[in-house]
């Protein structure tokens, strides 16, 4: 619950105007917080008098003051070029990602917005050994899947364009005959975003931010739509990584040190939009 220091509060109403839950009022010249709270921290962030404390259960020492805009600003053109240059990487060295870099990636996810600030996500980082163990399980589960019994929209792939069943069978055969991993690309690490609410919108927000940090660290990543779907259909995979009852893997990505060097950006189709 939000706490207001009445000695500091001047009842200016700034927090009232910015509360998304409309849960703050000013009474007798002081801000009063209601019972229902998103714990979003808007009131604490906007208060010039620092009269609003961080919600219970949050570390106040993590709060950063906006005292130097240079610490927070990113030039728009530079950000756009950064995104233009990113690639989905499918060639990795054997070098594992350091614990320090993984911590930064997860910190990016922790600060990504979630619907109603519910913060329902948790993360599972898979090491190289675990990935090698689950690769044949995932490939087998896809290759032997009864596609006709599955909602194709749940497959997270452009199913209208691909004969994915044949693709999975070929991948599984390539793994069996040549030990070639065409699913996880022999990546040294993978990241699972897990939620009890199966809130895929939160996963979408997380995916973009997580990959930005991965690229900022000089690493590469590839979103695993097929891998995510494999966790949907394989109880064995869920059990192996500790997915609990009621939870879902809403996003999987592999990541690591790129074994390939890209020399330029590539183009995209012209943007389609309407101004109405």
Tokens of 51: 């009269």
Domains 14-62 and 76-256 share a fold: no
Range in 99-113, 153-167, 178-192, 262-276 the model is least confident about: 153-167
Choices 3.20.20.70, 3.50.50.60, 3.40.50.1370, 3.40.109.10: CATH for 76-256: 3.40.109.10
SS3 of the chain: helix, strand, coil, percent, to 5:
40, 15, 45
Q: Could you tell me if residue 117 is left (phi over 0), alpha (psi between -120 and 50 degrees) or otherwise beta?
A: left
- Chain segment 216-257, per-residue pLDDT in tens: 999 999 999 999 999 999 999 999 999 999 999 999 999 999
pLDDT (0 to 100) of residue 55: 83
**Burial category of 221 from C-beta neighbours within 10 Å (exposed 0-12, middle 13-18, buried 19 and up):** buried
pLDDT tens-digit series, residues 10-55? 999 999 999 999 999 999 999 999 888 999 999 999 999 999 998 8
CATH fold, domain 14-62, is Alpha-Beta Plaits (3.30.70)
The overall pTM is greater than 0.85: yes
Q: Which helix (H) or strand (E) holds 125?
A: strand 121-126
* Domain residue spans of the chain: 14-62, 76-256
**Amino acid 148: pLDDT:** 74
């Amino acid at each position: 619950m939000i706490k207001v220091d009445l000695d500091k509060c001047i009842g200016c109403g700034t927090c009232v105007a910015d509360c998304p839950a409309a849960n703050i009022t000013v009474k007798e010249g002081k801000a009063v917080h209601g019972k229902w709270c998103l714990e979003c921290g808007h009131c604490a962030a906007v208060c010039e008098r620092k009269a609003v404390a961080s919600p219970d259960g949050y570390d106040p020492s993590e709060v950063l003051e906006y005292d130097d805009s240079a610490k927070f600003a990113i030039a728009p053109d530079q950000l756009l070029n950064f995104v233009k240059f990113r690639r989905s990487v499918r060639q990795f060295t054997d070098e594992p990602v350091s614990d320090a870099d993984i911590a930064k990636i997860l910190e990016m996810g922790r600060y990504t917005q979630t619907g109603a600030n519910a913060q329902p996500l948790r993360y599972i980082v898979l090491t190289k050994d675990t990935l090698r163990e689950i690769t044949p399980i995932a490939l087998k589960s896809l290759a032997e899947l009864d596609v006709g019994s599955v909602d194709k929209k749940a497959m997270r792939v452009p199913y209208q364009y691909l004969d994915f069943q044949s693709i999975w069978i070929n991948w599984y055969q390539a793994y069996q005959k040549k030990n070639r991993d065409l699913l996880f690309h022999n990546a040294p690490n993978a990241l699972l975003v897990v939620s009890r609410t199966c809130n895929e919108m939160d996963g979408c927000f997380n995916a973009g931010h997580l990959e930005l940090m991965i690229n900022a660290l000089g690493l590469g990543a590839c979103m695993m739509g097929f891998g995510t779907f494999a966790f949907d259909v394989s109880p064995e995979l869920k059990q192996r990584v500790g997915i609990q009852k009621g939870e879902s893997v809403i996003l999987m990505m592999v990541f690591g040190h790129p074994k390939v060097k890209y020399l330029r950006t590539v183009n995209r189709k012209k943007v389609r939009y309407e101004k109405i």
